[in-house]
Homo-oligomer: A and B are copies of this chain.
Amino acid sequence: MKKMEHKECMSALLPVRDTLDIIGGKWKILILISIWEGNKHFREIERSIPKLSTKVLSKELKDMEENQLITRTVLNGFPVRTEYRPTEYSKTLQKVILELQHWGANHRKKIFGREY
């Protein structure tokens, strides 16, 4: 990558922040991965991620639906069941996440001199 110029930096800023809003934080990527793996129902997702509370999960799922990373479908019947599914679009994040993963793995090696 070439040296970043000033103007590029400033115009880079908003998109970078947007992306971090969407996948940043403690839970978003975990939830996305859980859903990619095939977990569909609220409790199912909740149980797949230790320490995640219903309040937070509820909020995160709402955010992710707004951002078109997942779809939410309420099934008829009682008790109510809801299905969350990843969108095709959500997969465009995999490249980004992979990049984060590579950098993080390499960084840990550098800082701690060992892997996980």
**Chain A residues close to B by CB (< 8 Å):** 1, 4, 6, 9, 11-20, 22-25, 29-30, 33, 36-37, 67-68, 89, 91-108, 110-111, 116
A33, B19: Cβ atoms closer than 8 Å: no
Look across to chain B and name the residue whose beta carbon is closest to the beta carbon of A92.
B103
B95, A1: Cβ atoms closer than 8 Å: yes
A14, B116: Cβ atoms closer than 8 Å: yes
B1, A13: Cβ atoms closer than 8 Å: no
In the complex, what distance in Å separates the CA atom of A19 from the CA atom of B23?
Answer: 12
* 5 closest cross-chain pairs (CB), A and B: A15-B104, A19-B104, A18-B104, A15-B105, A19-B100
In the complex, what distance in Å separates the CA atom of A65 from the CA atom of B75?
Answer: 51
